[in-house]
């Protein structure tokens, strides 16, 4: 555990509801999405955003379970976690969370645990708007359905102008003093915090929400969240690179001889050698490195990012693949530590050009060291029969 300076920002994660509409057999935040609970997923999102005091508000009796979830999601930032018991309404739960804030906190985000898959970008947009001077900020999405006002008998009374409507999400962000004062003087039970702040007379700014920040309310919502979690690459659900440290990955690739033109392998052109076939130049060495790097960063594989439907990579050489991969890693917060790749092939002979290949590959990776070795297979297998080339790569990635 590292001790972080006291943050100026706090996130109150309200998770004290019972989930009556979901009927999930447990308070909603403690229902599982995969092997982890809704709360655990929500907290993972929170901990990928800017360092903040994180106050988790839970139903009476669930404090221990919440603390375990929170510590697990917090990585090396467990010192930032506080768990408190919530109240009978959401507003009371928010008030309980406010009561646990540290003195130095100036900005408060209130976030529904039920919006378990909220992307980090939404947090960032809310904080940025507060930093730019707003006192209250909510993420919203345009309303896409046509909205009608309907009476108790289900008859349409009037159409509602959709252009004036927006669906409010969380995290909702506030200057701490403004939120505290608004909730102190609020008599109604507002369904969200922005309503209390608005009725206290403060302007509430909107920033763009995200469809992924939908609230798990009913059983179909839970199914949708479970489907998303089961399909998305692990990296999207795990902690940020800074909390994960160095990671290794492996990648292999094979291409057959018989392509057009000259051979391209390990980032070099080999005049006089038979070309490899493939959608691109068939550079098995480069492709194995791409897979190893993506695997290390948990970003899927070469097919995820360079599918055959990407015409810009048809016929592309190693430098295009590798530099694009470095860009993908960098966007996810990783940089390349080093790469080691072994080629199995009878041809071409690497001995004379090994250093040249290492330099070309390293340059395409932005300077990270690459080692290349080559071997034959004693006449065995397809490489032994000179039918093609196989490459095996390992890569180390580090938090950027
Ligand atoms: N919440 C809370 N304390 C309450 C009520 C709600 O902390 N007394 C939290 C919920 O845990 C949820 C968020 O506020 O993360 C939004 O509320 P909602 O989706 O309505 O959740 P529940 O109240 O649990 O669900 P339901 O209304 O179906 O019972
Ligand atoms: Mg509720």
Residue 236 has a pLDDT of 45
| Total domain count, the chain | 2
Angle subtended at Cα 148 by Cα 144 and Cα 149, rounded to the nearest 5 degrees: 140
Residue 262: the pLDDT is 93
Same domain for 20 and 168, yes or no, is yes
Q: Given a cut of 80, is residue 310 above it in pLDDT?
A: no
Q: Are 281 and 394 part of one and the same domain? A: yes
Instruction: Answer yes or no: do 77 and 177 share one domain.
Output: yes
Query: Whole domain around residue 200: which residue ranges?
Result: 9-219
Instruction: Tell me what pLDDT residue 360 has.
Output: 97
Give the mean pLDDT of 223-240.
72
- CA 332 – CA 238 distance, rounded (Å): 12
**Does the beta carbon of 28 lie inside 6 Å of ligand 1?**
yes
Ligand nearest to the CA of 21: 1
Give the pLDDT confidence score for residue 243 in this predicted structure. 75
Closest ligand to 91 CA?
Answer: 1
Q: What is the CATH number of the domain that holds 349?
A: 3.30.1330.50
The pLDDT of residue 237 is 47
18 touches ligand 1 (CB under 6 Å):
yes
Q: What would the two tokens of residue 349 be? A: 């002979």
pLDDT surpasses 60 at 234? no
Q: How confident is the model at residue 1 (pLDDT cuts 50, 70, 90)?
A: very low
pLDDT score of 359 = 97
Mean pLDDT of 264-285: 93
Residue with tokens 């935040």: 29
Domain co-membership, 278 together with 371:
yes
What is the C-alpha separation between 392 and 290, in angstroms, rounded? 11
Q: Is residue 164 over pLDDT 60? A: yes
- 232 has pLDDT over 70: no
Residues 6 or more apart from 18 whose CB is under 8 A from it? 27, 28, 59
Q: How confident is the model at residue 233 (pLDDT cuts 50, 70, 90)?
A: low
CATH number (domain holding residue 213) = 3.90.550.10
Q: Are 39 and 56 in contact (CB under 8 A)?
A: yes
In order, the DSSP letters of 172-196 are EEEEHHHHHHHHHH--S--SSHHHH
pLDDT tens digits, residue range 51-99? Answer: 899 999 999 999 999 999 999 898 878 889 999 999 999 999 999 999 9
Instruction: Please tell me if the CB atom of residue 24 comes closer than 6 angstroms to any atom of ligand 1.
Output: no
Q: From the CB of 15, is ligand 1 less than 6 Å away?
A: yes
Rounded to an integer, what distance in angstroms lies between the CA atom of residue 11 and that of residue 9? 7
pLDDT digits (tens, 9 = 90+) for 11-24: 999 999 999 999 98
């Amino acid at each position: 555990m590292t001790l972080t300076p006291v943050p100026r920002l706090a996130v109150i994660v309200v998770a004290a509801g019972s989930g009556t509409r979901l009927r999930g057999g447990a308070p909603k935040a403690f229902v599982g999405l995969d092997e982890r609970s809704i709360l655990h997923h929500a907290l993972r999102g929170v901990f990928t955003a800017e360092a903040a005091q994180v106050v988790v508000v839970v139903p009476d009796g669930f404090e221990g379970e919440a603390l375990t979830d929170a510590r697990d999601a917090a990585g090396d930032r467990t010192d930032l976690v506080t768990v408190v018991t919530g109240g009978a309404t959401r507003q009371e739960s928010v008030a309980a969370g406010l009561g646990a804030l540290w003195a130095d906190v100036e900005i408060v985000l209130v976030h529904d645990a039920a919006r378990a898959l909220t992307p980090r970008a939404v947090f960032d947009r809310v904080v940025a708007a507060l930093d730019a001077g707003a006192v209250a900020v909510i993420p919203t999405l345009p309303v896409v359905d046509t909205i009608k006002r309907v009476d108790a008998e289900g008859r349409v009374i009037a159409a509602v102008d959709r252009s004036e409507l927006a669906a409010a999400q969380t995290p909702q962000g506030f200057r701490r003093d403004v939120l505290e004062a608004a909730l102190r003087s609020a008599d109604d039970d507002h369904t969200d915090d922005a309503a209390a702040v608005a009725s206290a007379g403060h302007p509430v700014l909107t920033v763009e929400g995200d469809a992924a920040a939908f609230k798990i309310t009913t059983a179909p919502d839970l199914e949708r969240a479970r489907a998303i979690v089961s399909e998305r690459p692990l990296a999207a659900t795990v902690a940020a690179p800074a909390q994960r440290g160095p990671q290794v990955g492996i990648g292999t690739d094979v291409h057959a001889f018989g392509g057009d033109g000259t051979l391209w392998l390990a980032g070099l052109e080999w005049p006089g050698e038979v070309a490899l076939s493939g959608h691109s130049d068939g550079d098995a060495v480069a492709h194995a490195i791409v897979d190893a790097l993506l695997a290390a960063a948990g970003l899927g594989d070469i097919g995820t990012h360079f599918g055959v439907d990407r015409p810009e990579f048809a016929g592309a050489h190693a430098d295009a693949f590798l530099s694009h991969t470095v860009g993908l890693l960098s966007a996810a917060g990783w940089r390349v530590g080093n790469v080691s790749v072994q080629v199995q092939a009878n041809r071409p002979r690497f001995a004379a050009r090994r250093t040249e290949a290492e330099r070309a590959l390293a340059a395409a990776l932005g300077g990270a060291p690459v080692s290349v070795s080559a071997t034959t297979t004693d006449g065995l297998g397809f490489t032994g029969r000179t039918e093609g080339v196989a490459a095996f790569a390992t890569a180390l990635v580090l938090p950027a």
